[in-house]
Structure 1
Amino acid sequence: MSWWGFEALLRRTNEWIARPPHGLRLSIMLAAAMLWVLTMMSVSVWLWALTFWHLEVFDGFETAVYFSMVAFTTLGFGDVILPQEWRLLGGLAAANGLMIFGFLTAMLVETLRHTRRRQRGLSAGIEDGL
């Protein structure tokens, strides 16, 4: 599911979101958004791992997944390192992770903002589209 798929889900649930009890519905929407974020992060890490594995950078797939997660989150333990000819990929994975973390954080904030605005709008009798 892409960002547009999640946005379509928000559009379909507009009326449901706006009805009381607001706190419970807000919590459900945020939980759904966080699950979506976790899924997108996982997909991104696995794509990097598949890339490292396909390029035969590491001996095993588990090592490729582990390195991808450590690089993507910019944790950088340093216990697994790239060979010299592939070391630029580690920086690209880290930069990609930073950008995706920022984008997905913005998406969570936008989901919260939209949900709260929609809840206040219906309570006040104001119709507001997404």
Structure 2
Amino acid sequence: MTPDTLAMSQHDQLLWGSVVLSVCALIHVGLLAAMIEALAHIGRWVKNRSRMLRTTVVVGAAFVMIVSSHTIQVWLWAAVLLNMKAFDYLYDALYFSLVTYTTVGYGDVVLPVEFRVFGAFGGVTGILCFGISTAFLVSLINKLLPKSLD
């Protein structure tokens, strides 16, 4: 631990990991809820277009919004890690956050021991939010598929 690193007990790591995870969940669910309104508006805008164009525009817009939500969360994790002085450089914090959030976990950049439990919450956040995103996209595509394919 460097002198500038904020020491965190396991209790603190569990608490603050849960807080950041909860904030990310609220961001994700809030953006998905807003997305429903936006997609309804987009759907009305492309209503009289071809089925292929409607599907492409609606699913594409949903995809961009979902990727934006995940990106915001990765940046949030990186900002928190920088603020807690777990990393000295934005690049390292952002890289670690992205690799952890996506559960790729290369292991080439690791947290100091006193942040590892906290950092694991980044992976939990990614798993949960990717699950919600997948369910959202599957539901949307099921709505868009023509009934003749049933």
Bin of the TM-score, shorter chain as denominator length: 0.7 to 0.9
Structure 2 match to 1:5 = 34
Structure 1: gaps spanning 5 or more residues = 121-130
| Map of 1:27 onto structure 2 | 56
TM-score by length of 2: 0.72
Aligned residue for 1:2, secondary structure, equals helix
Change (3 A) 1:39 1:97: same
- Distance, in Å, in 1 between the alignment partners of 2:44 and 2:89 is 49
Residue of 52, 55, 64 corresponding to 2:93: 64
Q: Deviations over 1:25-84 (max 9, x none)?
A: 101111111101110110010010001000000111111000000100111111111111
Query: Where in structure 2 are the equivalents of 1:1-130 lying within 5 Å?
Result: 2-116=31-145
Residues 93 and 83 of structure 1: CA distance in aligned 2, closer, same or farther (over 3 Å): same
Given that 2:39 and 2:62 are in contact with CA atoms closer than 8 Å, whether structure 1 keeps it comes out as: no
Given that 1:49 and 1:64 are in contact with CA atoms closer than 8 Å, whether structure 2 keeps it comes out as yes
What SS class does the counterpart of residue 81 from structure 1 fall into? coil
TM-score by length of structure 1 reads 0.82
Aligned length: 118
Gaps of at least 5 residues in structure 2 are 1-29
Contact 1:17/1:115 (<8 A) preserved: no
Secondary structure of 2:144's aligned partner: helix
Distance 2:71 2:83 in 1: 18
Task: Assess, with a 3 A threshold, how the Cα gap between structure 1 residues 25 and 14 changes in structure 2: closer, same or farther.
Answer: closer
RMSD: 1.8
Q: Which moved more, 1:41-50 or 1:105-114?
A: 105-114
Distance 1:114 1:89 in 2: 38
Which deviations, in whole Å up to 9, do the C-alpha atoms of 1:8-40 show, x marking residues without a partner?
Answer: 112224444543411111011111111011101
Amino acid at match of 2:95: Y
